[in-house]
Chain A
Amino acid sequence: MPRIKPQLFWLGRKKFGLNAAKLLPVCRTLESTANELRWIKQHVAETPSIIPFGARVWKLCDKRGKGLPLAYVLGNQPFGDLEIQCRSGVLIPRTETESYTMHLSNILSRSVSKSNSDQQPINIIDLCTGTGCIPLLLYSQLSRSLASTPLNVVGVDISQKAINLSQRNLQHNARLHHFPPPSNLPKAQASSGTQRKVQFLKADIFSPSALDPILSSPVSSSGEWDLLTSNPPYISPHGFGVNTSRSVRNWEPKLALVPPVERVDLHQKHFYDHYFPDDENLLEHKKGVRYQEEDVFYARLLEIARLYKPRRVLMEVGDMEQARRVVGMVLGDKKLRKLYWREGEEGEGGEAQIWRDDLVGFEGYEEVMDVAGEEVKVKGHPEGHGRSVYLRRGGVVDL
């Protein structure tokens, strides 16, 4: 990292005052310093307190100057049209996540409004939900575009902190009227006739006994999952030390970033035994394969997809390499291949796609990439990183 010129400190202090000198080591450029200072001042001006304005700005700049991420300093982060509250111990929502979630909600609302005439409820589950940003944004967008369709949105996380925070975010945004309050909130008005539900539940997604009751709930009422989303930990232990930025490493929870090593073995040993004691569905060469450490969550997520066959699956990934590996996992498994890949007949079959950053506004971009001998569509602006893997079941149509 290049040294910041002392001249810049002098200039920043002259232009923006002493606060800028605090922020500069973290922001590194004057432009970004000016922006962050403006946001901090805006935040202080909007939240009333008896402590004087200047003192509060100074304190927040001091905190930020020590490297604490801005979202933790201000306590929130805009996400789509929502304001997501952030507390240390829970991962901050990223703009990339925002981008693909918006795109996904566009696809969903377009397709559902065309096909769903008998007002079947839409079931959405988000695993490793964190702040609850993905399910809340989907809920907000869908409750607006599909006003009369019942919604059932579930978020699952292993951390109690995350569950508490996501509950708070649900209430916070309902209070700010960013979306109509779901009918399971105690204070919801009975006036809106549409049944909408949002739940956040604590469960370890690697433990079938905890997850199965949640996953099988719509199946019991003759429904199925319309969408499974997840932004699981996907950084390898080595990458965590090398590729992450300092404020991520120092301040954000490792639990949300790096899959625990012991999961790898646990997953191999326990879960195939549990679900497929005498499995002939797995391709021969896939048996006993060892996934890369950072891909464990995808292996588990795909297993859930095999069992519960959600109509659409979206998983965030770290880069194009990881995206290719995940698509490779799908193509390497007989059953998943049957579900999510165009086998045989044209058009009716499923599809696996890779999405890059910057999808919204660049829907037209598309290229084809060779993964495991198959041609996989890659969507989004060509300069963006590979950001997510999207699976669509056979017979499901996107508009």
Chain B
Amino acid sequence: MLAAPWICRGCARSLRRSGVFISLQIRRASTGLPPVLLDRARKLAAEHQQLTKQLEGDYDATAAKRAGEISKVVAALQELDKTKAALDELHGLLNSDDAELRQLANDDLDATKKQLEAVGHKLSAALTPKHPFADMPCLIEIHPGPGGHEGRHFADTVFRMYKSYCENKGYNVKVVSYNVSEDRTPGLDGEVPISEGVLEITDPGAFAAFRGEAGMHRVQRIPATEKQGRTHTSAVAVWVLPSFPENSTDVENDFNNPESDFYVDPSEVKAEKMRASGAGGQHVNKTESAIRLTHIPTGIQVSMQDSRSQQQNRESAWRLLRSRIASLRREQREAQAKDLRDSVLSQSQMSRGDKIRTYNYQQDRCTDHRSGLDFHNLPNVLQGGDVLDKVINSVQSWLTARDIQNLIAQEEAQARAAAGGSDKKKKGGK
């Protein structure tokens, strides 16, 4: 609580600007856990208690299995409660009259706080449903949306933004493809219009870090080509695809395993070299190294011509195709799961088409529409600096919260479906 019982508005505003309120808020919610998570943890703990009671009476295999699943969460929650209690006690000691005791408490405070943080992480890790591709490297594809030059110019900026962000954060980043479009009118700050850009981030876990970036990125600014000073709005699509790790031992993500999402039957892929050549071999020394792959069942088409080596182009094309197909399959599965769920959450279900972020040059502002936060210092964002890091982190925490909500909703839906056929009959009657 604040020391003063009442503050005038002007003071409150200046306090807010100086960050006092924020730090107060942070101090109070010191576990750093979203409330949804804690709620769910409490619910699970209650369920666990009930289950153990039931299991004492008579043994049931499914109940035992469920109890085993959530016991990890319960243990983490207990630990968290214990640490919290210890922290409260220390806070109490800080106010005591004994100077020596105060000293001791002060010494312990930092260590306990750190412990609380660690326990909080453990709890959130135990609770958060893990994305099946979370541990994989990823490919970031950048495609300009409709909107002529402006979109292509901004695509270049987005491309550079992610590239330098990865460099700043120390990720291993590789340019897979960077296609400059044919008409090269220069844009703002030396932008070149691009028709496609693909980055590969080879660190494991990169997909989890970047999956929140997928969607339409909207830009509002006065383009370099605009003569009358009007603000234009255009968009750039960013796709984040899990990439197949080069030598993986993981059976689930091995592309030779037909069960895997990454498996592509070669007989379903039509390969074209860009030019149907005559004799080939020693007869010609063509430099065309372009490769185009078409996956017939889905109609997904990938073409690659960046490298002089056809072999390298082919490898990148195959990798891109596998990633696109895997993410399509995953999306289809998610859509099926969504049908099962309540319709309440469908608004926040993100797809490729939804606008997720706005970059406004005039207002020096970057707004993420999912976390609903505004960030200023746009140049820093576009250079991939700390502010972009903040934006990405805000999306991450939003994603985690949404995943948990989805999970809860799904479980409830399943429980309802299991509860009885009578509900279904009613629905059918409607």
Contact = CB atoms under 8 A, between A and B. Distances in A.
B279 interface: yes
Interface in A367-399: 381, 385, 387
Contacts of B217: none
A207 interface: no
B125 to A, nearest CB: 37
A69 to B, nearest CB: 5
Contact of A387 (B271, B278, B280): B280
B307 A318 contact: no
Q: Counting chain A CB atoms within 10 Å of each CB, which of B182, B279, B282, B288 scores highest?
A: B282
A39 interface: yes
B14 interface: no
| Residue from B266, B281, B284, B308 with most neighbouring chain A CB atoms (10 Å) | B281
Nearest to A235: B282
A361 B312 CA distance: 13
Interface in A315-352: 316-319
B358 interface: no
B302 to A, nearest CB: 13
B317 to A, nearest CB: 9
Given A78-B312, A318-B281, A35 B305 contact: yes
A91 B282 contact: yes
B287 A362 contact: no
A256 B305 CA distance: 29
Contacts, number: 109
Contact of A95 (B271, B274, B279, B289): B289
A24 to B, nearest CB: 14
A70 B285 CA distance: 9
A60 interface: no
A177 to B, nearest CB: 17
Contacts of A92: 285
B311 A99 contact: yes
A248 B283 contact: yes
A77 B279 contact: no
Interface in B248-305: 266-267, 269, 271, 274, 278-290, 305
Most buried by B among A35, A91, A360, A364: A35
Given A245-B286, A361-B271, A385-B279, A95 B182 contact: no
A293 interface: no
Contacts of B271: 358, 361-362, 381
A21 to B, nearest CB: 15
B133 interface: no
* Residue with the greatest number of chain A CB neighbours at <10 A, chosen from B278, B283, B314: B283
Contacts of B269: 361
B210 interface: no
Contacts of B281: 94, 96-97, 234, 316-319, 385, 387
Contacts of A212: none
Contact of B283 (A34, A99, A245, A361): A245
Given A32-B287, A239-B283, A365-B266, 7 more contacts: A235-B283, A245-B285, A247-B285, A318-B282, A361-B269, A362-B266, A364-B267
23 contacts: A15-B183, A31-B274, A31-B290, A31-B305, A32-B287, A32-B288, A35-B287, A36-B287, A79-B309, A80-B309, A99-B310, A99-B311, A235-B282, A243-B283, A244-B284, A245-B284, A247-B285, A248-B282, A248-B284, A364-B267, A381-B271, A385-B279, A385-B280
Interface of B: 182-184, 266-267, 269, 271, 274, 278-290, 305, 307-312, 314, 318
Closest 6 CB pairs of A and B: A78-B309, A95-B310, A245-B284, A70-B287, A244-B283, A69-B285
